[in-house]
Amino acid sequence: MTSVETAVPRRAGALRTVLSGLWSARTWRATLHALAGLPLGVAAFALTCGLPVGAGYSAIWSLLYASGDDLALTTLFVVLTVTATLSLPRVVRGLSAVQRRRFRALLDVEIPPSHGWWRQFGYHVLSLFIGVSGAAAVAVCWSATLLAWAEPAYLVLAAPALVAAPWVARVVARADTAAARALLGPSRNEELSVRVETLSRSRAEVVAATDAERRRIERDLHDGAQQRLVSLAMNLGMARANLTDLPAPARQAIVEAHDEATQALAELREFVRGLHPAVLDDRGLDAALSGIAARAPVPVRVAVSVPDRCSPVVEAVAYFVVSEALTNIARHAHASRAEVTVDRVADRLRVVVTDDGRGGATPGGGTGLHGLAQRAASVDGTFALHSPAGGPTTVTVELPCGS
């Protein structure tokens, strides 16, 4: 294939690309967007800059130089200046809403609202120049066709302008969109605030869903497997007590089966209690923590002063914090006693666990304290540890407990 034969298809493809831009929906939407920006830009500049500045200048001139006969006119200028200045934030936000609708309707661009009206004010000042220059450039390119129609001698100028019209309209739309996103849309700090709020809400939903699932598993085990184990242990116990005339191997098998069933039942109850203690829902933190203290291998004094109950999720976190803290004390602290204090200070639930052990604990020391900090953080709580060498060790956890 010769170079001429290769060039012809390439030129045809380029021509199709150029012509397709002339009648594409994207081009005409960008064109309408640029043309609509002219009246909106002029109106926005007049309302946000022209009116307040003009009224203010007139009021100052009247106060300085007007005669006494012009008091009514001076009063009008002063009132107009004050009104225009005070209503400027509302006017700016209203104009911003109109501009966002223009972007959404013509360019299918969604610009989230912003709380700072000063940045929006900057866009409306800039929109005059974007609107005038953009609309003028687009109008000149498209109107070149009419010029060539009226005077064929201008066809040489009209053809390039017509070809450039779609791309000019799109460049103007991109520039206007960039300015609108930067000034009408939320700032970086606002975006980060929204993101943090979204993540906090998502985390709270995950924590609540996890707690609800843990409760469901606890109910299923309590009502299902635990009840069947209770029945099995009772039947084996009655067989062990009544079937005394069986051969020794059979009696030994029944005894071992009864002991195994009893042990399995105890382990299942401990497991269910670790998932979610039913007493926490029924009787609150005081009773639930007293149960933990009664099962602890070291003497534990419990003092709970919470007049109003917190949310179930927060109470569950407080319960497991105390449970894990007492487990750590039994395993690592070499303590002779411990104390648990729970009280409510304003909208915070404060949990303090103290022991008289050897101290020297650190959050990253492999003693489970890192898990306590994670539990507290899961509901936006705080964790603090004071554990000097030689003791005592104090773990303080504060959890949000708003009503």
Give pLDDT tens digits along the chain (403 positions).
455 444 445 555 555 555 566 778 888 899 999 999 999 999 999 999 999 999 888 888 888 887 767 788 888 888 888 998 899 999 999 999 999 999 999 999 999 988 888 899 999 999 999 999 999 999 988 887 777 666 766 667 777 888 888 889 999 999 999 999 999 988 888 778 777 777 767 666 666 666 666 667 666 666 677 678 778 778 878 888 887 777 878 878 888 888 887 887 777 776 766 666 777 777 888 888 888 888 888 999 999 888 888 888 888 888 888 988 888 888 888 888 999 999 988 888 999 999 998 888 877 655 577 878 888 888 888 898 888 888 898 999 999 886 5
CA distances from 295 to 270, 298, 385 (A): 11, 9, 24
pTM of the prediction? 0.56
Asked if 48 and 181 sit in the same domain, the reply is yes
Contact predicate 218/278, CB 8 Å: yes
Asked if 38 and 148 sit in the same domain, the reply is yes
Among 322, 332, 376, residue whose Cα is nearest residue 354 = 322
Helix (H, G, I), strand (E, B) or coil at 33: helix
> Which residue is listed with tokens 């974007």?
130
Is residue 191 in some structural domain? no
Asked if 265 and 298 sit in the same domain, the reply is no
Task: Specify the DSSP element, H or E, that contains 32.
Answer: helix 25-45
Asked if 98 and 222 sit in the same domain, the reply is no
Asked if 61 and 141 sit in the same domain, the reply is yes
Q: How is 223-282 classified by DSSP, letter by letter? A: HTHHHHHHHHHHHHHHHHHH-TTS-HHHHHHHHHHHHHHHHHHHHHHHHHHHH--HHHHH
Contact predicate 359/365, CB 8 Å: no
Given strand 348-355, what is the order of strands in its sheet? 300-305, 338-345, 348-355, 393-400, 382-386
Asked if 177 and 261 sit in the same domain, the reply is no
What residues contact residue 226 under an 8 Å CB cut-off, 6+ apart?
A: 265, 268, 269, 272
Helix (H), strand (E) counts: the chain: 14, 5
Is residue 386 in some structural domain? yes
Asked if 182 and 224 sit in the same domain, the reply is no
User: Cα separation of 176 and 228, whole Å?
Assistant: 71
DSSP 186: -
Range of the domain at 239: 211-274
Domain count of the fold of the chain: 3
Asked if 246 and 330 sit in the same domain, the reply is no
Asked if 251 and 302 sit in the same domain, the reply is no
Domain boundary among 153, 186, 219: 186
Among 371, 360, 354, residue whose Cα is nearest residue 300 = 354
> Which residue is listed with tokens 């969109």?
177
Domain boundary among 274, 292, 326: 274
CA distances from 381 to 207, 306, 321, 374, 377 (A): 13, 17, 12, 9, 5
Is residue 301 in some structural domain? yes
